[in-house]
Amino acid sequence: MIQINILQDVGGTFGGASRNTTHERKKSSTGSRPLLTAFLSLFVVVGLALCYLLFAGVPAPVAPFIPEVVSSTLGLSLPPSIATPTETPTTVADVSVTNTSLVKQPASPSYNSVEEIVQTVRPDMFYKRERKEYRQMLPAEKIVHQKIVMAAAFSLFRAITPQNFGFTDLVFKIPDYFYARGLASDDPTMKVFLDSLKHRSTEFKLIPTGNSKKPLEFSAYGRLNIPETAAGDNLALMTPAEVVQELTKLQDLAQLGGVKFLGLDNPELKDYGLYRRVVYHAQTKADFPSLQQFVNSLRSANLRVGILQVSMRPALDETPVSVFDFVVYTTPK
């Protein structure tokens, strides 16, 4: 009997074919692997280059080789020498032919008249803004500030000065400076006065007396703690013709308190272009209480006259002489 080993025959037949197929697949995969590696490497290199160009921009040597369509599509930034130049208008005629998208439009229509533009400006926005320095104030604001500072300085020194005190020099200067030199009756009184003055000052300096034969002599200077001043009334600038009338009102106000000023006829003028500052160095022999009353009256009066400085010191005959530096601000003409 002839037996046929089906399994052996089939195994031999199909087994041989399977070995051949596997061998062929190994050959195919071995041949395609370098191509895949090369393709992935090229993809990575192109991706890194594109990221560099997007973030760092196109280098100048490479820019000429990149088409404009590619750079605009990918959003690449070209160097200035390669970028497409834009037309810059230099004259009115150039503006008329230039692309309107390249010209920055004004905030307000250019066809508005001067009157319409001026009406859009609100002066109160400038008057009410905060100013931290005296030099930034407008002339009208300076006059208001000067009146308040001088009235506060006279009131402060009269309140803290003992009866047995004597000043050889006492100066108040805008915006808030003071200088005081005097002689006390005893150490406790002098200490109380200087402590009170220091407490009411934003800056305080005590000058050493050195080898003075008067141990109770003192000298101090600094800046007074004056409250912030408001803008006050809108005092307009005077014309030069109005100055004489304003000074007459000032003399009348002073004489009501028994104060008479001399020297209002020799002014010093300084031109600032938009306005002029006129300073008068006036003298008086009135006592301290009378001067304080005058300064308080001037603060509440609607006079366009301010005070830049007050200097009080005794004359040769021991009579106190005070010099007021009055100031007015006028129009150029």
Distance CA 216, CA 190 (A): 7
Distance CA 139, CA 276 (A): 10
| Residues in CB range of 299: below 8 A, 6 or more apart | 147, 148, 150, 151
Backbone phi and psi for residue 257, each to the nearest 5 degrees, phi listed first? -105, 15
CA separation, residue 44 to residues 37, 40, 50, 53 (Å): 11, 6, 10, 14
pLDDT at 81 over 60: no
The answer to whether the beta carbons of residues 267 and 329 sit under 8 Å apart is: no
pLDDT at 130 over 60: no
Which among 95, 97, 117 is positioned nearest to 107, based on CA atoms?
A: 117
Q: What is the pLDDT of residue 83?
A: 43
Which range is most confident: 12-21, 122-131, 192-201?
192-201
Q: What is the pLDDT of residue 8?
A: 40
Mean pLDDT lowest among 89-98, 123-132, 244-253, 305-314? 89-98
Distance CA 283, CA 281 (A): 7
Round the average pLDDT of the chain to a whole number and report it: 74
Q: What is the pLDDT of residue 49?
A: 72
- Distance between alpha carbon 139 and the CA centroid of its chain, in Å? 19
- 288-300 vs 243-256: helix crossing angle, rounded to 10: 130
Q: What is the pLDDT of residue 168?
A: 87
Q: How many CB atoms lie within 10 A of CB 330?
A: 20
Does residue 33 or residue 281 have the better pLDDT?
A: 281
Distance CA 162, CA 197 (A): 12
Does residue 116 or residue 44 have the better pLDDT?
A: 44
For the chain, the first-to-last Cα distance in angstroms comes to: 147
Cis preceding-peptide flag for 175 (omega within 30 of 0): yes
Q: What is the mean pLDDT of residues 36-59?
A: 70
Q: What is the pLDDT of residue 163?
A: 84
- Token reading at 182: 């005097």
Q: What is the mean pLDDT of residues 310-327?
A: 87
Domain boundaries, the chain: 6-74, 134-330
Q: Is 207 left (phi over 0), alpha (psi -120 to 50) or beta?
A: beta
DSSP, residue by residue, 120-132: T--HHHHHTS---
Task: List helix spans (H) across the chain.
Answer: 6-56, 68-74, 92-97, 114-119, 123-127, 139-160, 187-199, 243-256, 288-300
Would you identify the CATH topology of the domain 134-330? Answer: Alpha-Beta Plaits (3.30.70)
Residues of the chain with pLDDT > 90, as a percent, come to: 41
Residues 196-251: pLDDT tens digits? Answer: 999 999 999 998 776 555 678 889 999 999 876 655 556 788 999 999 999 999 99
Q: How many CB atoms lie within 10 A of CB 126?
A: 11
pLDDT at 110 over 50: no
Q: What is the pLDDT of residue 266?
A: 87
The answer to whether the beta carbons of residues 305 and 260 sit under 8 Å apart is: no
pLDDT at 70 over 70: no
Residues 112-124: pLDDT tens digits? Answer: 343 343 344 333 3
Cis preceding-peptide flag for 267 (omega within 30 of 0): no
pTM value > 0.75: no
